[in-house]
């Protein structure tokens, strides 16, 4: 996937990286703390149409604020964005290796926007696209977010492949049979002792013996 199908991804990487580079102001959601759908078109990558459709996958991302040390987990579907004060995370795609591929890895195409003053200027703060590219779970050094305040990394891409459906639970043959509902449970009330059988009455013999 990440490596064995890397050549298949190259056209998509160039396309995604070029999208919205000059329109950063329109890419930032107005509402903070809520994942919102964007106008991004979900691209179905060639050779990556096995398993969960791209639009239904969920990427789990980590976000770090280096100033206060605060971290949070963020879950997004491709085509969604979320804002936290002056930072916006946009997810364009996520992928992971199939069970039969090695080595295993997971990746996400992420865009990071920050509302800040352009470095080395006295201009007013504005939204800037500070990162746009793939992040890899098992090989984070392949592409890193270089920003003095914020860092983003991928934790998982939630998707399934054919044959990974949850197995149906089978009842054990050793399970005890269900109790007969007709069987009467013993009463917890105090039980009276059984009545003694009446003594047998001897018949008097006719001769009085």
Residue 190 included in any domain:
no
Which ranges of the chain have pLDDT less than 70?
Answer: 1-25, 43-49, 165-209
Question: Residue 110: its pLDDT value, please?
Answer: 97
Residue 208 included in any domain:
no
Residue 164 included in any domain:
no
Question: Residue 45: its pLDDT value, please?
Answer: 59
What Å distances lie between residue 43 and 5, 15, 18, 203, CA to CA? 16, 10, 14, 108
Residue 180 included in any domain:
no
Question: Residue 179: its pLDDT value, please?
Answer: 57
Give Dmax (Cα) for the chain: 140
Residue 194 included in any domain:
no
Q: Report the number of distinct structural domains present in the chain.
A: 1
Residue 209 included in any domain:
no
Query: How far, in Å, CA of 2 to CA of 139, rounded?
Result: 10
Instruction: Tell whether pTM > 0.75.
Output: no
Residue 99 included in any domain:
yes
- Other beta carbons less than 10 A from residue 132's beta carbon: 19
Question: Residue 19: its pLDDT value, please?
Answer: 47
Domain that holds residue 72: 6-158
């Amino acid at each position: 996937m990440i490596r064995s199908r890397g050549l298949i991804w190259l056209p998509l990487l160039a396309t995604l990286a070029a999208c919205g580079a000059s329109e950063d102001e329109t890419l930032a959601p107005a509402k903070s703390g809520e994942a919102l759908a964007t106008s991004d078109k979900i691209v179905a990558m060639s050779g990556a149409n096995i398993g969960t459709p791209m639009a239904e996958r969920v990427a789990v991302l980590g976000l770090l604020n280096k100033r206060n040390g605060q971290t949070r987990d963020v879950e997004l579907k491709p085509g969604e964005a979320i804002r936290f004060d002056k930072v916006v995370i946009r997810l364009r795609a996520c992928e992971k290796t199939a069970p039969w591929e090695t080595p295993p890895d997971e990746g996400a195409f992420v865009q990071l926007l920050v509302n800040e003053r352009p470095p080395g200027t006295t201009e007013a703060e504005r939204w800037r696209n500070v990162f746009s590219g793939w992040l890899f779970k098992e090989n984070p050094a392949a592409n890193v977010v270089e920003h003095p305040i914020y860092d983003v990394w991928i934790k998982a891409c939630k998707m399934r492949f054919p044959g990974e459906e949850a197995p149906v639970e089978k009842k054990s043959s050793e399970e005890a049979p269900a109790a007969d509902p007709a069987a009467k449970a013993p009463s917890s009330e105090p039980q009276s002792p059984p009545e003694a059988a009446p003594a047998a009455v001897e018949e008097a013999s006719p001769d009085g013996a």
